[in-house]
Amino acid sequence: MDIFSLEFLTSLLTIIFIDLLLAGDNAIVIGLAARNLPKEHQKKAIWYGTGGAVLIRVVATLLIVYLLKIPFLLAVGGVVLLWIAFKLLVQEEQHEDIKASTTLGGAVRTIVIADAAMGLDNVIAVAGAAHGSELLVIMGLVISIPVVVWGSTLFVRLLNRFPWIVYIGSAVLAYTAAKMVTHEPKLDAIFHDNPVLSWTFIAVMTAAVVVGGLWANAFKKRKALAKAASSVLNGDKLPQK
């Protein structure tokens, strides 16, 4: 892939956007792990922890890029990423198990381990968006270092203010996932020879994820309102003698 081509630049921007979208949890992990450190050590913990986490992600993503060349694994990865795109819209992340450390080494270790455990979505998404290009993987993840350190906290605030941004991000992930399925070499007879079917599949999968997320969130909201209303009604009842 030519590094000056539109396809390369588009893929690189997609990887950076995916990193930024999925970096919200990283920002929370970094903040929780380093919050008890002296101020002069907090920046070091952030840089060392993020650097170690990104290094692990580079290796893991390159491994996934290689594995996706195995027959049908590209399609399987696409299906997994479709689920991740949906879960991005509806899941409620919990971070109570992230322990703060009082030492620089402990904080760095916590950041790296937590990021490795939570980074599967990022690894699969970046590997899919890279279309087999190791250079794209490395460039995208190296660029993600300052993105995670400086941009993620700001992006979390932006998401809180404009929640609809997460739907755009989920649509990008779903689009990437659907393209992984249509680019599966073993499915060339279905998609490669039928571009209309290929783009229809991509459009339907992207829409299904976004609409499914909207429906699931609306259902959860109605359920929460019903539970709140029930609690109020029960609280208004007089105790029986």
What integer best gives the mean pLDDT of the chain?
A: 75
Tokens of 148: 């995670």
Residue for token digits 């996934």? 64
pLDDT value at 238 more than 50: no
pLDDT value at 209 more than 90: yes
Residue for token digits 């050590």? 41
Express each pLDDT in 92-104 by its tens digit. 555 445 555 567 7
Q: Would you tell me how many other CB atoms lie within 10 Å of the CB of residue 13?
A: 12
How many Å apart are CA 198 and CA 190, to the nearest integer?
Answer: 8
CB 182 within 8 A of CB 202: yes
Residue for token digits 């659907």? 178
Express each pLDDT in 125-176 by its tens digit. 777 777 777 788 777 777 766 666 665 556 656 666 777 877 887 888 888 8
Q: How confident is the model at residue 200 (pLDDT cuts 50, 70, 90)?
A: very high
Report pTM.
Answer: 0.68
How many Å apart are CA 104 and CA 52, to the nearest integer?
Answer: 13
What are the domain boundaries of the chain? 6-233
How many Å apart are CA 91 and CA 220, to the nearest integer?
Answer: 11
Q: How confident is the model at residue 241 (pLDDT cuts 50, 70, 90)?
A: very low
Specify the DSSP element, H or E, that contains 76.
helix 73-90
Q: Would you tell me how many other CB atoms lie within 10 Å of the CB of residue 167?
A: 16
Express each pLDDT in 8-46 by its tens digit. 788 878 877 777 666 655 666 666 666 667 777 777 777
* pLDDT > 90 in the chain, percent: 7
In terms of residues, how long is the chain? 241
Average pLDDT rounded to a whole number, residues 165-189: 85
The 3-state secondary structure of 107-157, one letter per residue: HHHHHHHHHHHHCHHHHHHHHHHHCCCHHHHHHHHHHHHHHHHHHHHHHHH
